[in-house]
Amino acid sequence: TSAEFVKFAMVNAGAVVLNVIIVFSATTYTQPLFDLSPLAWENAANILALGAVTLWNFSGFKFFIFPDRKPAA
């Protein structure tokens, strides 16, 4: 439905914002840990953001977009 599409767009827009915030914060406000190069640190920030956005999307889909759907038998 169109309401689900709007919710879908909102969850995914939030995912983009969350991704940018995590990567920007990790690469701007923190120094590389564990003697990583700046490029490796940026990749680590991207991996952290990937995990956070995956949890964000799963939660948004399960509890916000499709809260009343039952799993297939």
Q: Tokens 């590389």 label which residue?
A: 32
Please determine, for residue 71, whether its predicted confidence score (pLDDT) is greater than 80. no
Please determine, for residue 69, whether its predicted confidence score (pLDDT) is greater than 80. no
DSSP tag of 31: P
How far is the C-alpha of 55 from the C-alpha of 49, rounded, in Å?
Answer: 10
pLDDT at 10: 96
pLDDT at 70: 78
SS3 (DSSP) at 17: helix
Angle between helices 2-28 and 38-59 (to 10 degrees): 150
